[in-house]
Chains A and B, each alone.
Chain A
């Protein structure tokens, strides 16, 4: 990706969010997602808000400015709630946003917190009616006795207004915390997954859903694993996968039976016994699973690595990339400060040739599958001059630290990049630090 002779380099484009170091908890970004054309970029935060950015159309023709995104709509998706029966507060944090493919002028997205999924319609209004017979311009009703003539109201242009309205609320279907939602390729159904169950919904129907996976044991004391992520296959509407805290992925076919407790395929790599430690179970827990765009592969992220699986081979991944292997000797400290529980996401580029994931110290990593190259880049305000080329970073695991290298002990574990997104058709990426959204694009020569 980075290297001599015309390989891709990345440039800073924009950064969104507050500048000051004091991070308000509500501003912590919890999800980032491009829509299917890449024109819209949505973020969700801990405060339950959704902010949608839109790509500037005028700049699309100018390659070096095509990654300019501006705020398109902001709305409060979820509010904090209280479950009185269980005396539990339900966080308003947006766990996931998924866009629906566009069918008409309006845009639709699903956003979810721990318990409730909502379908939002985002529509534009750039005209308003004028010339009512019975109403004044300010909305007051006229005295009918003063009306002497009739006219037809007309639509006149107005400043663009983007409205977000909740069209559906899918509630009360999850006992445990929702970690994933995924829209089916049939554009009619979607799944939602919590720690122990996966439900299938129809986008039009809110008062019921079908339970398709249930791994809750009869006796909760026998619990050994939970569901950590789930996704529909991009093309096969009957196929979905879900990952577990034990590092396994199960592929299920909904045609096989109504309840997909029995998997069609089980993807698992045996553990390397020489790496066994107190924390083996934690670091093997899968935090994200994503199908490739072509539907032939899937990628999983565990604490230290990214793995690419061929759907036709269950016993081991076809590729494994170490994200930050130098952390393996630090697991004890990372357990103490809770960093070992961080759930990193991963994403594919448009043609499935490169995968990306985040790390600490505001570093993020890209792995070029074809050229067997990888690079570490940093999202920071220091490197945020317009079109500034990002310099590859290097972490020194041990021994003599070279110039420009950073030692493991200097890494800031509070600066973590958990959420990244890649434009579906272009080399534009969105990288979320704690409370800022960075947008980078490839360097245009």
Chain B
């Protein structure tokens, strides 16, 4: 959000406003205006990216608090004089990991709960519209499955990186369940339990489907979600990045809300599906707004 905005632009309210517009366009005289709906979907995408980042930052902060408390408890159990230097080393390494390589972050993420010690101020700087250095970008949670990727250093400008980004971790905002998507296929994440604090991944796929109004395949839902995060990352790095692929934009965005872009033209059927009871059941605040339409 640029400082030029006169009103406090709330990503969540923008999302609801945009959905309202899309909904209203279905009953407008003259048929659905393709151009206008396309532009609204861009705003939706932008708002969702900001919202997701904010959510991640929040979760990250909460986790950091948890881990700091754990570390403090552990320290209190031991002799504080013996462990000062070791702790300092650990913290330095942790900081280096966070500030540097993404994949090393995820290595540690699996093993050491203390890795995410960092200053909250850097998290608050998180915003899709800043051009700041993205090496300190904390909002990406990488599954340790990323180890398998030959990419050892995350280079946002590298086309290679984009090709190999076929495994991404998905964090469910409402259940805090972490799952991994590979090439659009969903499978459980085995090694990131530490991130979610031991919550069982109870059929997250089904839950995701329910959340987002089930008339699209779950793989599509999730890959859309991850694609959005990948896109957020790429966008942050450079807006002139020619590798920035946009083809998944509208489709993924619309599918997450339960209707394909052609669904905008076919109107009624998907609306009924979206309003199913199942969809309304396990909702988070913002997804509730989406499903209502």
Contact = CB atoms under 8 A, between A and B. Distances in A.
Given A89-B29, A195-B35, A278-B46, A329 B250 contact: no
A220 B31 contact: no
B251 A282 contact: no
Contacts of B2: 274-277
A285 interface: yes
Contacts of A328: 4
Contacts of A276: 2, 129, 239
**Residue of B42, B252, B255, B261 with most partner-chain A CB within 10 A:** B42
Interface residues of A, number: 45
Question: Which of the four size classes fits the interface of chain B?
Answer: 35 or more
Interface stretch (B5-13, B67-75, B156-164, B186-194): B5-13
A93 B248 CA distance: 34
A329 B4 contact: yes
Given A220-B262, A277-B1, A335 B17 contact: yes
Given A245-B35, A277-B129, A332 B239 contact: no
Given A90-B30, A278-B43, A278-B47, A224 B5 contact: no
Contact of B6 (A228, A279, A329): A329
B249 interface: yes
Nearest to B21: A338
A363 B273 CA distance: 47
Interface in A302-340: 328-333, 335-336, 338
Interface string A77-102: 00000000010111101000000000
Nearest to A89: B29
A332 B4 CA distance: 11
Nearest to B6: A329
A220 B240 contact: no
B33 A177 contact: yes
B30 A114 contact: yes
Contacts of B240: 270, 273
A195 B31 CA distance: 13
Interface in B213-261: 239-240, 246-252, 254-255, 260-261
Contact of B247 (A89, A177, A224): A224
Contacts of A58: none
Interface string A232-250: 0000000000000100000
A309 to B, nearest CB: 20
A270 B262 CA distance: 30
Contacts of A330: 6
A32 B260 CA distance: 37
B31 A335 contact: no
A195 B47 CA distance: 25
Contacts of A271: 239
B124 interface: no
B261 A335 contact: no
Contacts of B36: 341
B281 interface: no
B111 interface: no
B17 A278 contact: no
Contacts of B38: 223-226, 245
Interface in B19-75: 21, 29-31, 33-36, 38-39, 42-43, 46-47, 50
Given A277-B4, A278-B46, A177 B34 contact: yes
Contacts of B43: 278-279, 281-282, 335
B223 to A, nearest CB: 12
B173 interface: no
A138 interface: no
**Residue of A195, A224, A275 with most partner-chain B CB within 10 A:** A224
A224 B41 CA distance: 10
Given A195-B35, A278-B1, A328-B4, A222 B247 contact: yes
A210 interface: no
A146 interface: no
Given A91-B30, A221-B255, A331-B5, A226 B35 contact: yes
Contact of B261 (A220, A279, A331, A332): A220
B39 A341 contact: yes
Nearest to A113: B30
A332 B6 contact: yes
Contact of B239 (A93, A273, A336): A273
A337 to B, nearest CB: 10
A219 interface: yes
Nearest to B259: A221
Contacts of A141: none
B218 to A, nearest CB: 16
Given A225-B38, A226-B34, 20 more contacts: A114-B30, A195-B34, A220-B265, A221-B262, A222-B247, A224-B249, A224-B250, A228-B35, A274-B2, A276-B2, A277-B4, A277-B46, A278-B46, A280-B46, A285-B39, A329-B6, A330-B6, A331-B5, A332-B5, A336-B17
Interface of A: 86, 88-91, 93, 114, 176-177, 195-196, 217, 219-226, 228, 245, 270-271, 273-282, 285, 328-333, 335-336, 338, 341
Interface of B: 1-2, 4-7, 9, 14, 17, 21, 29-31, 33-36, 38-39, 42-43, 46-47, 50, 129, 131, 239-240, 246-252, 254-255, 260-262, 265
